[in-house]
């Protein structure tokens, strides 16, 4: 297995990868919705506003995480959100997801990003350096269905900040259904 960053040769396979993983756990509708999100993030989001990390064996995608920009009223802080993230079911529980998160976070840190947010299972993401935050501390683009899943990881000299809203996400994520 090898980790690839912003390698466009994998991009055509990613929507199907996300669809298969999310359909298996959350149903066909969720699979289609996340596949469309991945396609929009890859094909309609500027390269400076998104970062894609994939794990692959030969040319087969085993896992993928996409990071995209969040914009706040305080322009001094550069913030990205991680999602969606998907590891093929046959390759789960082997540390691949953690490798993807580390590779993505390390790249963003090297690029001067101050904070990475995610919205997911705290039991999983807290094992990878994320800390729960409230929407009063760091507003999400929309009201969250599961506020306990909003988490951040500081990548710079800043401590976990309080950011002023409103928060704006990239157009692909601009739908309350994702939040």
pLDDT tens readout for residues 38-87: 999 999 999 999 999 999 998 899 999 999 999 998 777 899 999 999 99
Token pair listed for 15: 């929507």
Question: DSSP string of 33-62?
Answer: HHHHHHHHHHHHS-GGGEEEEEEEETTEEE
Residue 11 sits at the vertex; the CA angle it makes with 127 and 100, to the nearest 5 degrees, is 15
> Going by DSSP bridges, is the β-strand pair 115-119/79-87 parallel, antiparallel, or unpaired?
parallel
Report d(CA 169, CA 175) in Å as an integer: 10
Name the percent of the chain in helix, strand, coil, to the closest 5.
40, 25, 35
Mean pLDDT of 97-107: 94
Structural domains of the chain sorted by starting position, each given as residue range(s) with its CATH number in brackets: 2-178 (3.40.630.30)
Mean pLDDT of 136-162: 89
Report d(CA 99, CA 31) in Å as an integer: 23
DSSP letter at 166 equals -
What is the predicted pLDDT for the residue at 160? 66
pLDDT tens readout for residues 121-142: 999 999 999 999 999 999 999 9
Report d(CA 9, CA 157) in Å as an integer: 35
Mean pLDDT of the chain: 93
């Amino acid at each position: 297995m090898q980790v690839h960053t912003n390698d466009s040769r994998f991009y055509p396979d990613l929507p199907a990868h996300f669809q298969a993983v999310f359909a298996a756990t959350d149903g066909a509708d969720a699979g289609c919705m996340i596949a469309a999100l991945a396609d929009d993030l890859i094909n309609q989001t500027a390269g400076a506003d998104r970062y894609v990390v994939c794990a692959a064996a030969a040319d087969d995608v085993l896992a993928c995480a996409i990071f995209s920009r969040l914009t706040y009223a305080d322009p001094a802080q550069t913030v990205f959100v991680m999602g969606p993230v998907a590891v093929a079911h046959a390759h789960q529980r082997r540390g691949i997801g953690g490798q993807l998160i580390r590779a993505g976070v390390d790249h963003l840190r090297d690029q001067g990003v101050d904070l990475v947010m995610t919205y997911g299972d705290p039991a999983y993401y807290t094992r990878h350096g994320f800390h729960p935050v409230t929407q009063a501390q760091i507003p999400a683009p929309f009201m969250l269905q599961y506020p306990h899943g909003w988490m951040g990881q500081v990548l710079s000299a800043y401590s976990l900040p309080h950011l002023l809203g409103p928060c704006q996400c990239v157009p692909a994520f601009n739908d309350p259904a994702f939040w």
